[in-house]
Amino acid sequence: MEIDNIVNNWFEDTVAQINAANKPDESVYNLCSSILPVARNYCNATLLLLNEDKRLPAMALIRVLCELTFRLQWCVFPNKQNEHVNVRIKRWLKWSYNREKKDLERRLNLAENQEKTKIKENIKYLETEIQKIPYNFAGDLYGSLESLTYEQTGDGEISLSWKDHLYPILYTPFNQAIHPDLVVLSKLIKQSGNQRMFFGDYTSIDIATLKIYCVSCVYNIIVATRMVYELQYEEINQEYLKIKKKHAKEM
């Protein structure tokens, strides 16, 4: 079965089971339920691009998937600070409100009168919502997370820090696709005799490797969701290991 079909089966089965679980209207269940369709959308788009050998655009989408993966895991897995999952969700929400407020403030001076009134109303609303959340906010979520770690139980207990482990794994490899700079552009130029050739994408990065990154993000999102809902994930784990083993041979 193709990767696309396997991954979509994971999503469909997980959604069916969490709907059948009939959990209460709590923030942790709302978080998992809202991330699943977004992750599926980005995953399907990534695989479509990779099937067409579009590496850089696919890497940009994988970067988003990586961020969703980390955010969900940071929220739902136990951490050494012993914060309740709802506290961490509210911290993320407060950070989100602050970021949106800053974006609106940047637009304010450039807006026309009617739009400016609407922007001011939105800023006032966000300020009210920010005040409702009592937990400290460091201004930069990335900086505030550097000292945080989380532990996961399952196939093996892990303890990962944001600064030393998660950032290099989930962000660094794909930043170049989000922020193509002169280093990236220089890698897209080749010399053949007296002719210089310019390319709009990488040709050396392995497609199978990128597919494994994509599927790994989805796997971790689905497993985290199933752990929250106390659902089994052994079958998904076995399928995931088979995908990795198969594509490792193609790399």
Q: What pLDDT does 1 receive?
A: 56
- pLDDT above 90 (res 6): yes
The pLDDT confidence band at residue 153, using thresholds 50, 70 and 90, is: very low
The pLDDT confidence band at residue 168, using thresholds 50, 70 and 90, is: low
Highest-scoring range by mean pLDDT, 22-31, 80-89, 140-149: 22-31
More confident residue, 154 or 78: 78
How far apart (Å, rounded) are the C-alpha atoms in residues 225 and 82? 20
Q: What pLDDT does 181 receive?
A: 83
> Which residues make Cβ contacts (< 8 Å) with residue 247, sequence separation at least 6?
208, 209, 211, 212
The pLDDT confidence band at residue 187, using thresholds 50, 70 and 90, is: confident
Which of 198, 195, 167, 228 has its CA nearest to residue 36?
A: 228
- pLDDT above 90 (res 205): no
pLDDT in tens, 225-248: 999 999 999 999 999 999 888 876
pLDDT above 90 coverage of the chain, percent: 48
Which of 81, 95, 184 has its CA nearest to residue 133?
A: 95
- pLDDT above 50 (res 157): no
The pLDDT confidence band at residue 251, using thresholds 50, 70 and 90, is: very low
Could you identify the residue written with the tokens 């210089």? Answer: 196
Q: Is this model's pTM higher than 0.95 or not?
A: no
How far apart (Å, rounded) are the C-alpha atoms in residues 232 and 241? 16
- pLDDT above 80 (res 112): yes
pLDDT in tens, 92-105: 899 899 999 999 99
- pLDDT above 80 (res 154): no
- pLDDT above 80 (res 219): yes
Q: What pLDDT does 150 receive?
A: 47
Q: What pLDDT does 228 receive?
A: 94
Over range 44-51, report the average pLDDT: 96
Q: What pLDDT does 202 receive?
A: 84
How far apart (Å, rounded) are the C-alpha atoms in residues 197 and 189? 6
